[in-house]
Structure 1
Amino acid sequence: MPRYYFQIVERNAVLDDLDGAELASLQDARREAERAIREIAAEHLQTESRLELTSIQIRNEAGETIASVTYDEAMEDILP
């Protein structure tokens, strides 16, 4: 099963995922990135802190960016 890495992109920083996750497909990795964005947004709402997250870049085992999920994409079915 392939391993995918999720790089969190904020307005002024990039946070690397050193562990990654084994997932069956890129589609599963995209769903995981969407879930992570929603979870991060919820945490910021609870703490009333500013959300700097703009996207999550999905990388393969070679370190290549193979997909990206933006905040807007993750929230399009949730927010009006």
Structure 2
Amino acid sequence: SVVPGGPADDAGVTEGDIVVEFDGAPIETAEDLGEAIRAHGPGDTVEVVLVREGGERVTITIELGVNPVPLG
């Protein structure tokens, strides 16, 4: 889910977006995404490729913040 006011929300990520690439690494599972995020720290800037409803691919840049919820 997208945390209102969080870095993903600020970068334009919306509910239903599917992350398919994070900082150049392909993302196939939630575990892949968690590992990719944990490999970075607050303040890092990463490019994220999303697939939106209808299949549109979008590349956004996100400055990572502190995650208030531990990632599994």
Output the TM-score relative to the length of structure 1.
0.30
- Of Structure 1 and Structure 2, the greater helix share is in 1
Output the TM-score relative to the length of structure 2.
0.32
> Which entry has the higher C-alpha Rg, 1 or 2?
1
